[in-house]
Structure formats: C-alpha cells, structure tokens
Amino acid sequence: MRLASPAFSDGGVIPRRFTCDGENVSPPLQWSGAPPETRSFVLLCDDPDAPAGVWRHWAVYDISSATSELEEGADVTGVACCYKEGINDFHRPGYGGPCPPRRHGVHHYHFRLLALSCAELGLPGTPTCKEVAQAAIRHTCAEAILIGLYERR
C-alpha cells in the first residue's frame, strides 16, 4: 500500500499552509494498493519528536474502502458526510497542523494510513486520536506511512 501527497514528498518539508504558521488546513493525501480484504481506512498524523512525547495531530476513521484520497481541507469538508474524526492533542476534533516549539529543530510528522478488516470501528462518542489508533490496531491488515518535516525558527 502507498500513501502520498501532491503537496510534499516523503521526507520533504510540509508547506507552511498546512501548519499553525499558515492556514492550518489538512494537506491533500492519496493512496493506492490496499489489500482486497480492506473494509475501511484510518488516517493518523503524529509527531514523535514532541518534547513531551508523541503529539497526536489528527485521526480520521471509518473512511470507506472505496475512498482513495482526502482532499485539502478534508477535516472541514468531509466530516459531515463521509468519515469521523477523533479529538487531537490540541483538545479539539479535526486536524491540528504541525506546530513544534520554536527553535526545537526539525520535527517528523508521520501520516499513517491503516487499511482495516472492519467497515467501522464502532467507537462511542468522540474518541481521542490515541483511542482511535488503539482500536484500529487489532483490525489492521496493511499500513502505509508518509513522513513530512517541519521546523519553526
């Protein structure tokens, strides 16, 4: 399975537009090569370089297996019709773009796409990004990772 973005390459710099220093909109993401047993997808975005440990920026879940992309700004446009989002570590649902502490060096943002063997996670209420990730692990049949970099000076 492959995950990519037309906005930045794997290991490339995430454009300012998709960060807290810009418009803070979610980047466009595209994927292919999911295994035939895929019934849904989960998309996670985490920063393992955060000073206090992993910082969870985004969790999108119950994405239809027929879906192969999330458009730019998907955290605003698609939630009402197509999928659900968890509460990020900024304490709100949706996407929270890269926003590392100034002068903390380059942070690596892991966009992870999980192909799941179930159509829905069945999570009650509005779970946290961490809860979405924990629930998805036991149903994961494939994973793809796209890493973007960002630094605040």
Query: pTM to 2 decimals?
Result: 0.95
- For residue 81, is pLDDT > 80? no
Are the C-beta atoms of 134 and 55 separated by less than 8 Å? no
Number of domains in the chain: 1
Q: Are 3 and 142 in contact (CB under 8 A)?
A: no
Residues 6+ apart with CB under 8 A from 101: 51, 152
The predicted model gives 79-101 an average pLDDT of 90
Domain containing 45 equals 2-150
CATH number of the domain residue 145 falls in: 3.90.280.10
Instruction: Tell me: pLDDT of 78 over 70.
Output: no
CB 44 within 8 A of CB 88: no
